[in-house]
Amino acid sequence: MKFTEEHEWLEVEGDLVVVGITAHAAEQLGDVVFVELPDVGREVSKDDEVVVIESVKAASDILAPLDGEIVEVNEAIVEDPGKVNEDPEGDAWFFKLKVEDPSELEDMMDEAAYKKFIS
């Protein structure tokens, strides 16, 4: 797994990257009550706003961590946004991205670096 400074996690699955938010981010948000996901087929550039999350505390955007195409979204978290709090680094992933340049993942934090970043 790789991590961004925006508290996203990325996991490589073949030629795709699965994107979600970290447990730390889910905890900071509080109870998630709404998730709006991007359209499948959407081309995104790094730092584009692609997901809207609303919690009892605030609204927040999830940014595209890399350039690529959205190829799948997790409808289960739209139907039950609380899953984001229950399993943020597992079943509550947001979208799968076919990335243009997988080597960009090398510049992201590993788990040890992320834990240091949030401490």
Give DSSP secondary structure letters for the chain. -EE-TTSEEEEEETTEEEEEE-HHHHHHH-SEEEEEPPPTT-EE-TT-EEEEEEESS-EEEEEPSSSEEEEEE-HHHHH-TTHHHH-TTTTT--EEEEES-GGGGGGSB-HHHHHHHH-
Q: What is the pTM of this model?
A: 0.94
Weakest-pLDDT range from 55-59, 68-72, 90-94 = 55-59
**Tens digit of each residue's pLDDT (9 = 90 or more) over 1-46:** 999 999 999 999 988 999 999 999 999 999 999 999 999 999 999 9
Fold (CATH) for 2-95: OB fold (Dihydrolipoamide Acetyltransferase, E2P) (2.40.50)
